[in-house]
A = this chain, B = another copy of it.
Amino acid sequence: MAYQRTPYVESKRAEARQRLVQAAVALIERGGWREVQMSAVATEAGLSTGAVYLHFPSKTDLLAEVYRTQAGTELHVLTLIAEQPVPAADRLRAGINAFAQRAMKNPRLAYAIALEPTDIDVEEVRLHFHREFGMQFRRILDSGVAAGEFTIADTRVAAACIFGGIVESLMGPLGATALARGKAASARRQPDATALVDGVVAFCFHGLGKPAPRNPPTKRRAVGRSGRAKD
């Protein structure tokens, strides 16, 4: 009776927890997982070191939650896209686009999440999410195959090529931005997400393809930006 948690109190706990995760994210944005020290997280969140342990039993748990939060959001977006009742080709493009756009927004974070693991246990979470991302792309591909849109045989590998292609394409630009810390990071030219997306989409639809009529009926700007190098 006297002990019953009120929504208020409950939200206070949840809020502190949330604040800690956000603090960790902020630190990652600043300098990668390396910056995520328990005391730094506490300070960033406006709490004491000990308080962190009221919400997370260990650093690993905090890191895992951070990963889950960030990657989970991405995954959710991708899942929603994969479920849209539109042609698989459109969903595929939308998925690729969503992924690339978000990564461009916050390169440091995207890089850390996608490619810069720390803790061995967080690695497992990362593997899980990579598998999940692959699964969602594969869902799109499978439904496309079922609808006769695609005729690819191995959708698992194709999904990996798509997801891996995005990540790898972003890796250079992301990494360059990510590693530029104290330096005039803002001075760097943001890489062109549109060109990347179009390139991946083109590859998906035609492979190294003989035919390769540049995607003419696409709603987006149609010509000439895909071949540009940017580094």
Given contacts A130-B171, A208-B158, contact A214 B153 (CB under 8 A): yes
State in angstroms the CA–CA spacing of A153 and B177 once bound together. Answer: 26
Taking A154-B198, A163-B164, A204-B208 as known contacts, 16 extra A-B pairs with beta carbons closer than 8 A to each other, sorted by chain A number, are A92-B208, A115-B115, A120-B179, A124-B175, A127-B175, A127-B179, A130-B168, A131-B231, A134-B168, A153-B199, A153-B227, A154-B202, A154-B203, A157-B165, A160-B168, A164-B171
Binds B, one of A6-14, A62-70, A71-79, A144-152: A144-152
Mark interface residues in A116-160 (1 if CB within 8 Å of B CB, else 0). 110010011011001100100000010010000111111111101
Asked whether, in the complex, the Cβ of B127 is within 8 Å of the Cβ of A226, the reply is no
State in angstroms the CA–CA spacing of A31 and B163 once bound together. Answer: 27
Least CB distance, A15 to chain B, in whole angstroms: 16
Most B Cβ at <10 Å: residue of A169, A179, A195: A169
Main secondary structure of the interface of A (DSSP, over half): helix
Chain B CB within 8 A of A1 CB: no
Asked whether, in the complex, the Cβ of A206 is within 8 Å of the Cβ of B123, the reply is no
Chain B CB within 8 A of A162 CB: yes
Question: Which residue on chain B has the smallest CB distance to residue A181?
Answer: B120
Least CB distance, A6 to chain B, in whole angstroms: 15
Least CB distance, A224 to chain B, in whole angstroms: 9
Question: Which residue on chain B has the smallest CB distance to residue A224?
Answer: B153
A binding-site residues for B, Cβ under 8 Å: 32, 34, 92, 115-117, 120, 123-124, 126-127, 130-131, 134, 141, 144, 149-158, 160-169, 171-172, 175-176, 178-179, 195-196, 198-200, 202-212, 214, 225-229, 231
Given contacts A151-B208, A179-B124, A207-B203, contact A165 B171 (CB under 8 A): no
* Chain B residues whose CB sits within 8 angstroms of the CB of A141 once the complex forms: 208
